[in-house]
Chains A and B, each alone.
Chain A
Amino acid sequence: MELVAQLLDWFTAPAQWTGSSGIPVRVLEHVLYTVAATGVAVVVGLPIGLAVGHTGRGGTVAVNTTNVGRAIPSFGIIVLFFFIFGIDPVPAVIMLVALALPPIVTNTYVGVRSVAPAVTDSAAGMGLTGWQVLREVEIPAAMPLIMAGIRTSAVQVVATATLAAYIGLGGLGRYIFDGLSQQVLNQVVGGAILVALLALATELALGRVQRLVVPRGLQARSRQAALDAKLT
């Protein structure tokens, strides 16, 4: 119970809400890392996933990359990047991009692949060009999986961006790591609460976006896809 009081102190201290190590700045840094990494991953990964899915070539490579990616400990990679590049947010964000790519590529690929051939065939039969089939048929039909992939990536990036603070970068992880080294428990736990809330907020916010961009007839499939994306 003492900790609860200390946590309240920590969250309500006026100094906590101003300055370069205040909660608003730390949240902003964290969101900035996340948006940058997930944004680049979407810009790079979406075309790759669409191309692989549309042409049907290279699918196994895409799926296997995801499996290998899971085995690589991002914490170790961040520390290795520190030795190579020093305290620099750019390599850290690049690492986060690499982490965010596999779910986006794989889910986009699987989404496009799983459109029934009869549907794409009839679209082609109606005179649609390859591009039109992609834009008008495959992308809308694959939207549940595409969004599920982006959502999974973004949440993973929020989680892993926390570790960037370990090598001296910003973000909410600073509260956790500074607190651990100075043995200030309320700061450590306060930071963890903020990280957890940001991850849940990201999941919910992108869930909203998913409901907006997924065609109405595919909403039920969309919920299933969100779950599958976490587990593949």
Chain B
Amino acid sequence: MDWAWVGENLGRIRGYALQHLFLTAVPVAAGFVLAFPMSLAAIRWRRLYAPLLGFTGMLFTIPSIALFVLLIPVTGLGPLTAIVPLTIYTLLILIRNTVEGLDGVDPDVREAAEAMGYTRGRRLLGVELPLALPVIVAGLRIATVTTVGLVTITALIGAGGLGRLIVDGFTLFFPTSVVVGVVLSVAFAVAADLVLLAGQKALTPWRAGRA
């Protein structure tokens, strides 16, 4: 380990870390924006659910490096080529957990809300969604941690992020850079996981003491 190098390159490392944050946050957010209406549709029209999982599951099977590369002819080398596949990968996890979370709401609670005069939309936002939140956030956590790991690979197609430290370290034969890239990437994944968990706990105070 060459600590002096780390000190001299803090600015560059911070830049890569910020890119990593961007390349993680955008796909997870975009994935959620896409997955949420799809999940509602799958709950409304049950027959959609199995094909939806089958299709997103098939996409999930395609190795990330292959999907990134397949997009190069369409979107060129750069962040967009990373963001589209990363978004696609989050869909399976997010749809599954959103549907299972909303399905898990006690039917009695749903009926009680209806009896109290809740419309379908208000019942969803005010009753079902808060109760399903732990399962939905569990999905977001898996999607986020997976995405953080995959973003390191996007450096190979010129997208940036902490993977750049790994690529540069390999090209220049400089292990310190690789170690920094790996360690920060793991730290990033753990931190993101804890932030989401804390967010879920803050939003579901009635569950205090439970997971």
Contact = CB atoms under 8 A, between A and B. Distances in A.
Contacts of A162: 63, 65-66
Interface in B140-191: 142, 145-146, 148-149, 152-153, 156-157, 163, 166, 169-170, 175, 178-179, 181-182, 185-186, 189-190
A162 B62 CA distance: 12
Contacts of A167: 170
A80 B69 contact: no
Nearest to A175: B69
Interface stretch (B23-31, B53-61, B107-115, B125-133): B53-61
Contact of B67 (A67, A72, A160, A196): A196
Contacts of A63: none
B69 A188 contact: yes
B153 A193 contact: no
A68 B70 CA distance: 29
Contact of B163 (A75, A173, A199): A75
A192 interface: yes
Interface in A80-116: 80, 82-83
A79 interface: yes
A79 B166 contact: yes
Contact of A227 (B96, B139, B145): B96
A139 to B, nearest CB: 26
Interface in A20-77: 67, 70-77
A10 interface: no
Q: Is the interface of A mostly helix, strand, loop or mixed?
A: helix
Interface string B23-65: 0000000000000000000000000000001000110111111
B73 A73 contact: no
Nearest to A223: B50
B69 A191 contact: yes
Contact of B65 (A71, A79, A163, A231): A163
A119 interface: no
B186 A72 contact: yes
A72 B185 CA distance: 8
Interface of A: 3, 67, 70-77, 79-80, 82-83, 155, 158-160, 162-163, 166-167, 173, 176-177, 180, 185, 188-189, 191-193, 195-196, 199-200, 203, 227, 230-231
12 contacts: A73-B163, A79-B178, A80-B182, A82-B170, A155-B61, A162-B66, A163-B153, A176-B66, A176-B69, A180-B69, A230-B92, A231-B92
List 8 tightest A-B contacts by C-beta distance, closest first. A159-B63, A76-B182, A71-B189, A192-B69, A192-B66, A73-B152, A195-B66, A196-B66
